[in-house]
Structure 1
């Protein structure tokens, strides 16, 4: 059973009736990939190669012409509760002048919004307007997600101003999110650019202009994601450098202390042995002399280290 099916004309949209698309319009049929009726419908209405593309277990964004139709795959952010936004949802499409078939695995909110509008009699007048509207809504949600991520990265960069601030615990996950989104959106950018250049009678100049804007938005979004990844890497590098600097400073101080107290430890260890023949054993002022000698040695060690510019 289909998720929905509508017959759409320039002035109306209503639930599909009969076996053919309306005169002067097209039919939109929307399936879930697990729908048991999908294989039979595709066998009856869609050529074999596009049908295989619609039911492929894995997809990537694409835009290819096949005969008088178009095979399209687009992705949008996952707004479902079953996963993070960067676990993007896919829309598979077969588009001709009289038929639009869409297939999804997870719920796609942009398609659900178009479904609601179609049930109210409002839908894109042509198949390519349908594609353009869907691409616009998908990219709008992607851009909102990237803007939110950019705001969080701004906050991380602000934390860099405070050298004592700890490394943001969410940094690693946010960077992985940006990398995963770039992985899917870079092919989507290429697919939208390819779609603009396809020579097909389905695509009017107005469609090309609208799709070109979405392709440009996809380019800007990918560039923004690449910039965000670099910015988060810089934040990580700053905190790593601060930690290394602090560790090096601590090690340096310990080395100075060790250098100062090394001769003192030698002298006190030497005079602490319990054997005969140690000088000053029978002299009352020998202990005071030893203490004064240790102070002089400490001052001398500090003076020498400063003279050598080690401190």
Structure 2
């Protein structure tokens, strides 16, 4: 077990009289690289806590100041405070993801496919957070059950409280992922319906003009012997017949409810 491992996930591993616990928390403002949640590796034993981070975690300076003020009396107290703080920071982020999906559901319409990028991002963020929130809950529950005398009862209560909050966040993130997938399917169906409707309109228009094209092509042949070719009303007769055929075909499609398909 190595505190300097490049890739870690939240876990709790007792070793002798101490414990290694890896947690994930929000990255510091201005850090735009990698995962939203950065790792902190902790070795804790009676009277000592050693922590290591490759990327700065938001809020650690506040915890350090409080520790220097003597507000934390033992390693269990410090780790419990860190866990509660991380839960406080992630909770509103998860709630915001849920609100984003709610907004997408409310605005979903025939033009709703323009929101597909927002839905895809919300789903991607939910998957990314859930990947660490679930094992973090398990790690905190495991630490709360360790039989070390330097972990006091109130520390165990706070650790379980943080674990419960992460469990609730994991459920919310799973719901966000499923709702986002359902919204994506609905948007795909709406786009398919719109394409089908437009294709139907094009097909109907083509069917209306098909007999008209035949009639006008037949009378437009440049050959001798066409009846009434030189009659002064021939043009208007063909035009009237074409209008009649067009109206008749269009009326048939309207009665057959093709335009409402």
Q: Distance in 2 between matches of 1:83 and 1:270?
A: 70
| Residues in 1 aligned to 2:75 and 2:155: alpha-carbon distance in whole angstroms | 10
Q: 1:84 to 1:55 in 2, by over 3 A?
A: closer
1:6-39 deviation line (CA, Å, top 9, x unaligned): xxxxxxxxxxxxxxxxxxxxxxxxxxxxxxxxxx
Residue pair 2:75, 2:151 contacting (<8 A) in 1 also: no
| Residue 128 (structure 1) aligns with | 76
What are the equivalent positions in structure 2 for 1:212-231 lying under 5 Å apart? 212-231=160-179
In the TM superposition, residue 165 of structure 1 has moved relative to its aligned partner by 5.2
| CA displacement at 1:75 relative to structure 2 | 0.4
In 2, Cα distance between the equivalents of 1:176 and 1:307? 47
Choose the corresponding residue for 1:156, options 100, 104, 108: 104
Give the structure 2 partner of residue 167 of structure 1. 114
Alpha-carbon distance in 2 for matches of 1:294, 1:206: 90
Cα RMSD for the two superposed structures: 2.2
CA drift of 1:253 comes to 1.2
Partner secondary structure for residue 108 of structure 1:
coil
Partner residue, 1:191: 139
Distance 2:120 2:217 in 1: 51
CA distance in 2, matches of 1:310, 1:216: 56
Displacement, 1:146? 1.5
Alignment correspondent of 1:96: 45
CA distance in 2, matches of 1:95, 1:213: 20
Instruction: State the distance in 2 between where 1:250 and 1:125 align.
Output: 71
**Which sections of structure 2, spanning at least 5 residues, go unmatched?**
none
Q: CA deviation at 1:220?
A: 0.5
Q: What is the TM-score normalised by the length of structure 2?
A: 0.89
Change beyond 3 A, Cα 1:303–1:151: closer
Contact 1:80 1:107 in 2 (8 A): no
1:75 alignment partner, one of 1, 11, 24 = 24
Q: 2:238 aligns with which of 290, 293, 306?
A: 290
Tell me which residue corresponds to 1:274. Answer: 222
Structure 1 or 2: more helix by fraction: 2
Matched, 1:105 2:59: no
Number of aligned positions between the proteins? 258
Following superposition, the deviation at residue 172 of structure 1 comes to: 2.7
Distance 2:118 2:86 in 1: 26
